[in-house]
Copies of this chain bind each other. A is one copy, B any other.
Amino acid sequence: MKFSSKVQKCGLSPMRKFHPYAVAARAAGKKIYHLNIGQPDIPTPEACFDAVRNFNYPVLEYAPSPGIPELIDAVRGYYDKIGISLTEGDVLVTTGGSEALQIVCNCILDDGDEIIIPEPFYPNYNTFVCTTGGTIRPLTTTPEEGYFYADRRRIEALINERTRAIMITNPGNPTGVVLSPEEMRMIVDVAKEHNLFLISDEVYREFVYGGEKLASMASFADAADNVVIIDSVSKRFSACGARIGVIISKNAELMAHAMKYCQARLAVATLDQVAAAALYTLPADYFTDVREEYKRRRDTVMAGLAKIPGVVCKCPKGAFYVMAKLPVDNTDSFQQWLLTDFADRGETVMFSPAESFYGTPGRGVDEIRIAYVLKEQDLSRAMELLGKGIAAYNAR
């Protein structure tokens, strides 16, 4: 039997290969500090579980295809607070930000079409784009420049007649880069001038640590036809397992096409939508403590990295990731070695080797992504283990 040429071009998660080594390390009694996954440890607000417990209907029925009105209203209320007015038709509820991305990519990309994405980027963008038959045109950035990408000249150099969209994550995963209002405006202008969609994945919006105002590409009313926002409750409310996201756009034609996908898959899970509606109506000060906690963690990681000779890393302004260039030949081999050959007082550390975050072959081989989703004390120890690991690895 034959398989689709598109799925054959996609790969399994590059993190899978470390799984058996991690299992073996644990079986051998090693403790592993996990900095490799973006699963927050912050407790999910009780409002989420309360909403589900209080659900009191005899039949767990299909929700409407675009989402339950309570959740759409709650999303609109949240955006209203950051100065963005949405109508009911501007919002489609999806099964996580993942489905939102999948639907949008499928609506706009044809075989051979291109989408510009700054690299390093969230690796699942590969599958979302690749399965449409489209191609990622990576906008290369470097650790030395702090992964800066908001350069009009460099963006425009990648645009050709097959370019359909620019896609960014702001604040950035894996880089933590946060665009300034001027940079946002410039990227919107490029999208408008070249008649491109601007897909802005803003799931980390609240995770900014320099006192920045909460920002969204949806605030540029003059580019309403170009802008598509991807959002999710996963990171914002520490509710990854709810799988609730949204597509937001004022481009009616795009939303009509997206609705075809929403109708075909019938509905998003009912209870999770009820829970998400409760989350979206939490008071805004919920984020204050969470933001402070992550800021302390970022500073702990940066302080730890500063002590390791040869590491290249500028302090990220947002999200909960730090990208760093390490003084090792290959972070993939280094990670495997940390699991198989290294331990300090019975402990070791896992991060994400960064090659899979790049679209350009060969890039990122000496870089890693650190997710700071552990408590400060654990993060300090993990950075200590990283430093000791590098020294021991290079002294082999």
A62 in complex: contacting residue of B124, B127, B241, B265, CB < 8 Å: B241
- In whole angstroms, what is the CA distance A257 to B3 when docked? 9
CB-based contact A43/B55 at 8 Å: no
The chain B residue with its CB closest to the CB of A42 is: B59
A55 in complex: contacting residue of B1, B49, B272, CB < 8 Å: B49
Give the Cβ gap from A374 to chain B, nearest Cβ, in Å.
Answer: 13
Q: Given A164-B1, A196-B1, A44 and B60 touching (CB < 8 A)?
A: yes
**With an 8 A cutoff between CB atoms, is A109 at the interface?**
yes
CB-based contact A62/B39 at 8 Å: yes
CB-based contact B96/A1 at 8 Å: no
The contact string, 1 if C-beta is below 8 Å from chain B, for chain A 115-152, is 00000000010011001110000000000000000000
**With an 8 A cutoff between CB atoms, is A270 at the interface?**
yes
- In whole angstroms, what is the CA distance A127 to B265 when docked? 9
Q: Give the segment of A7-15, A345-353, A375-383 that binds chain B.
A: A7-15
- In whole angstroms, what is the CA distance A111 to B264 when docked? 20
Give the Cβ gap from A271 to chain B, nearest Cβ, in Å.
Answer: 6
CB-based contact A12/B260 at 8 Å: yes
Q: Given A4-B109, A195-B1, A98 and B59 touching (CB < 8 A)?
A: no
Q: Given A6-B106, A39-B61, A52-B52, A243 and B259 touching (CB < 8 A)?
A: no
Q: Provide the residues of chain B in CB contact with A270, threshold 8 Å.
A: 241-243
CB-based contact A60/B42 at 8 Å: no
Q: Given A39-B61, A41-B59, A243-B267, A1 and B226 touching (CB < 8 A)?
A: yes
**With an 8 A cutoff between CB atoms, is A2 at the interface?**
yes
- In whole angstroms, what is the CA distance A242 to B13 when docked? 27
**With an 8 A cutoff between CB atoms, is A214 at the interface?**
no
**With an 8 A cutoff between CB atoms, is A58 at the interface?**
yes
- In whole angstroms, what is the CA distance A164 to B5 when docked? 13
Give the Cβ gap from A224 to chain B, nearest Cβ, in Å.
Answer: 12
A7 in complex: contacting residue of B39, B106, B127, B239, CB < 8 Å: B106
Q: Given A49-B55, A266-B124, A240 and B62 touching (CB < 8 A)?
A: yes
CB-based contact A265/B99 at 8 Å: yes
Q: Provide the residues of chain B in CB contact with A164, threshold 8 Å.
A: 1-2
A241 in complex: contacting residue of B1, B61, B127, CB < 8 Å: B61
The chain B residue with its CB closest to the CB of A265 is: B98
- In whole angstroms, what is the CA distance A113 to B52 when docked? 43
CB-based contact A95/B243 at 8 Å: yes
**With an 8 A cutoff between CB atoms, is A63 at the interface?**
yes
A127 in complex: contacting residue of B6, B99, B238, B261, CB < 8 Å: B261
Query: From residue 39 to 59 of chain A, which have CB atoms closer than 8 A to chain B?
Result: 39-44, 48-49, 52-53, 55, 58-59
- In whole angstroms, what is the CA distance A107 to B127 when docked? 12
Q: Provide the residues of chain B in CB contact with A63, threshold 8 Å.
A: 241
The chain B residue with its CB closest to the CB of A164 is: B2
**With an 8 A cutoff between CB atoms, is A357 at the interface?**
no
Q: Given A269-B95, A271-B241, A124 and B59 touching (CB < 8 A)?
A: no
**With an 8 A cutoff between CB atoms, is A187 at the interface?**
no
Q: Given A196-B1, A267-B241, A257 and B106 touching (CB < 8 A)?
A: no
A59 in complex: contacting residue of B43, B133, B259, B265, CB < 8 Å: B43
Most buried by B among A110, A251, A266: A266
Q: Provide the residues of chain B in CB contact with A71, threshold 8 Å.
A: none
- In whole angstroms, what is the CA distance A108 to B55 when docked? 39
Q: Provide the residues of chain B in CB contact with A243, threshold 8 Å.
A: 95, 266-270
The chain B residue with its CB closest to the CB of A55 is: B49
List 9 A–B pairs whose Cβ atoms lie within 8 Å, in order of A's numbering.
Answer: A1-B108, A4-B257, A5-B110, A12-B256, A52-B53, A98-B265, A124-B266, A243-B266, A269-B269
